[in-house]
C-alpha cells in the first residue's frame, strides 16, 4: 500500500449547460483540496484525465487545473488519456508517482463536457475509441460496436434480453439515491425489458435503456503516500491498482471473453491478497448492459456464458451476494468520459468511509473498481480499503 485517497470532490453529472470545462475542473480541484484539509502548496504533482476527441475546442487542458489557485503555478501538470478509462489512467499515473517517491501528494482531476456537441458529432467522437479500419463505418457509432458484441453473445449463448433488462433496472434503481447521478429515476424492469417509443432499439439487441448517457461532469481525488495519509483526516488505501492493455482490433481477439478485464482482475486480486468473495461491492464499467454482463464472467463471478444467471438471481443487487454499481453505474450516474474513472474511485472511497449517503453499502470494507477504455482494450482494476 503505497498510496491512499485522502480527499475527493464530485460534481453532478448530466447536461450542465451553464458550466464550462474549465469551470468544472476548477470547482472539483478546489473542493478536493478542501476536503483533504490541505492547501495548494502541499501538492507535488497534478494529473488531469480528459478524453476530449473533439468535445472541447480547448485541447491543451492540463494547466486549466492551475486556475483553481495561483499557488498551483509551476507545479508539474500532465493530461493523460486512455479512451473511456481516461480517469483511471490519471489515477494510476498519480499512484505511480507516489510509488516512485517523486511525489508525496498528487491532485488527480477527471473532466469532460460532452453535451454541447451536436449528436452526430458525439457519435463520431466516441467511435474514435474503436479500431476505425474495421469499425469506422459501423452504424450507431460506439453503440453499434457493443450492439455487434451483444448480437454475437446472443448467438453463442442465447437471447439475454431478460438479464440485460435486470441489469439496467438494477442500476437505475440504485441511481435514485445518488445525488450526483444524471438520471435519478427507477425505470423498473418492465420498462427496460420492452421495446417502446421511449425505449427503442438502438443497435442490434440493445435498447436505449441498455446504453449509458451522454454527460458533462468532473471529479477529483487527492492522493498521498501512506505515511502522510495516516496523519490526515482519512486514508483509503490502494490494496491493488492494475492496468492491462489489449489489442485494439476486435478481430485479433475473442471479444466475448474480455480477456484484458479478466487479466486485470486476476492481477489485482493476487496483488491485494484477496478473493472476489472478500469484496463488499464493485463499481464496474457498464457503458452498455452487455458489458456489465460479460464483466461478471471476466471477473470470475460467473462461468463463461452464465453471467445472465447472476443478474436474474439478483446476486448483484444492493442486498445481493456482491453488490455491483451501488452508485447506479454509468447507466444512471452518467458517463463524462474523462471523469468516469476518477468518479468511480471517489465514490468507492465514500463507501469505505461510510460517507455514501443513500447509496451506502452497509459495512463496506473492501471495494473493487473496473474501468475500461474501448471494447475491453484499456482495463484498470483497483481494490481499495480504508485504513483510517
DSSP state of 18: T
Nearest to 88 by CA among 362, 388, 347: 347
pLDDT of residue 141: 86
pLDDT of residue 140: 86
Alpha helices in 136-258 (DSSP H): 141-157, 161-175, 189-193, 226-229
Q: What are phi and psi of 92, to 5 degrees?
A: -65, -40
Q: Which residue has the cell 457493443?
A: 146
> Quick one: cell of 318?
444492493
pLDDT of residue 189: 98
Between CA 140 and CA 206 the distance in angstroms is 11
Q: List the beta bridge partners of residue 380.
A: 243, 371
CB atoms within 10 A of CB 102: 12
pLDDT of residue 28: 98
What fold does the segment set 3-117+215-229 form as a domain?
Answer: Peroxisomal Thiolase; Chain A, domain 1 (3.40.47)
Q: List the beta bridge partners of residue 113.
A: 216
Please enumerate in sequence order all residues whose Cβ is within 8 A of that of 207, keeping only pairs 6 or more positions apart, or say none.
192, 195, 199, 200, 201
CA distances from 110 to 32, 158, 339, 349 (A): 12, 38, 4, 16
Between CA 78 and CA 376 the distance in angstroms is 25
Between CA 355 and CA 349 the distance in angstroms is 8
pLDDT of residue 25: 98
DSSP state of 30: H
Q: Which residue has the cell 469484496?
A: 279
Between CA 338 and CA 179 the distance in angstroms is 20
Nearest to 371 by CA among 284, 269, 268, 289: 284
- Helix %, strand %, coil % of the chain (to 5): 40, 20, 40
The secondary element (H helix, E strand) that includes residue 366 is strand 366-373
pLDDT in tens, the chain (388 residues): 689 999 999 999 999 999 999 999 999 999 999 999 999 999 999 999 999 999 999 999 999 999 999 999 999 999 999 999 999 999 999 999 999 999 999 999 999 999 999 989 999 999 999 999 999 999 888 999 999 999 999 999 999 999 999 999 999 999 999 999 999 999 999 999 999 999 999 999 999 999 999 999 999 999 999 999 999 999 999 999 999 999 999 999 999 999 999 999 999 999 999 999 999 999 999 999 999 999 999 999 999 999 999 999 999 999 999 999 999 999 999 999 999 999 999 999 999 999 999 999 999 999 999 999 999 999 999 999 999 9
57 class by beta-carbon count within 10 Å (0-12 exposed, 13-18 middle, 19+ buried):
exposed
pLDDT of residue 139: 87
Where do the domains of the chain lie? 3-117+215-229
pLDDT of residue 2: 87
For the chain, the C-alpha Rg in angstroms (whole number) is 19
pLDDT of residue 107: 99
Amino acid at each position: 500500500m503505497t498510496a491512499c485517497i485522502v480527499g475527493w470532490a464530485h460534481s453532478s453529472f448530466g447536461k450542465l449547460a451553464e458550466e464550462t470545462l474549465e469551470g468544472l475542473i476548477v470547482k472539483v480541484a478546489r473542493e478536493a483540496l478542501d476536503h483533504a484539509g490541505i492547501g495548494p502548496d502541499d501538492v507535488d504533482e497534478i494529473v488531469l484525465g480528459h478524453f476530449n476527441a473533439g468535445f472541447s475546442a480547448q485541447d491543451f487542458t492540463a494547466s486549466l487545473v492551475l486556475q483553481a489557485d495561483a499557488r498551483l503555478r509551476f507545479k508539474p501538470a500532465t493530461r493523460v488519456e486512455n479512451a473511456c478509462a481516461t480517469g483511471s489512467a490519471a489515477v494510476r499515473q498519480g499512484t505511480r508517482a507516489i510509488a516512485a517517491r517523486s511525489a508525496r501528494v498528487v491532485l488527480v482531476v477527471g473532466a469532460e463536457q460532452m453535451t454541447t456537441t451536436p449528436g452526430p458529432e458525439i457519435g463520431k467522437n466516441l467511435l474514435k475509441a474503436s479500431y476505425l479500419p474495421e469499425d469506422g463505418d459501423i452504424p450507431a457509432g460506439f453503440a453499434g460496436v457493443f450492439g455487434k458484441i451483444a448480437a454475437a453473445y446472443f448467438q453463442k449463448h442465447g437471447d439475454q434480453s431478460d438479464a440485460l433488462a435486470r441489469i439496467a433496472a438494477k442500476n437505475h434503481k440504485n441511481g435514485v439515491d445518488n445525488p450526483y447521478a444524471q438520471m435519478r429515476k427507477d425505470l423498473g424492469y418492465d420498462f427496460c425489458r420492452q421495446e417502446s417509443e421511449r425505449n427503442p432499439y438502438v443497435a442490434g439487441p440493445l435498447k436505449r435503456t441498455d446504453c449509458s448517457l451522454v454527460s458533462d461532469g468532473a471529479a477529483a481525488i487527492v492522493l498521498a503516500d501512506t505515511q502522510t495519509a495516516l496523519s490526515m483526516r482519512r486514508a483509503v488505501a490502494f490494496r491493488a491498482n492494475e492496468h492491462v492493455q489489449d489489442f485494439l482490433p476486435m478481430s485479433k481477439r475473442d471479444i466475448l471473453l474480455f480477456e484484458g478485464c479478466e487479466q486485470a482482475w486476476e492481477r489485482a486480486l493476487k496483488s491485494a491478497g484477496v478473493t472476489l468473495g472478500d469484496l463488499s461491492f464493485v463499481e464496474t464499467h457498464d457503458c452498455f448492459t452487455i458489458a456489465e454482463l460479460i464483466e461478471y464472467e471476466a471477473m470470475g463471478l460467473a462461468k463463461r456464458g452464465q453471467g445472465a444467471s447472476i443478474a436474474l438471481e439478483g446476486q448483484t443487487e444492493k442486498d445481493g451476494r456482491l453488490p455491483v454499481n451501488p452508485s447506479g453505474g454509468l447507466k444512471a450516474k452518467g458517463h463524462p468520459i474523462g471523469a468516469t474513472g476518477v468518479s468511480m474511485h471517489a465514490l468507492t472511497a465514500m463507501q469505505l468511509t461510510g460517507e455514501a449517503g443513500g447509496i451506502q453499502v452497509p459495512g463496506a470494507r473492501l471495494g473493487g473498481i473496473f474501468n475500461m477504455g474501448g471494447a475491453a482494450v484499456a482495463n484498470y482494476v483497483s481494490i481499495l480499503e480504508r485504513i483510517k
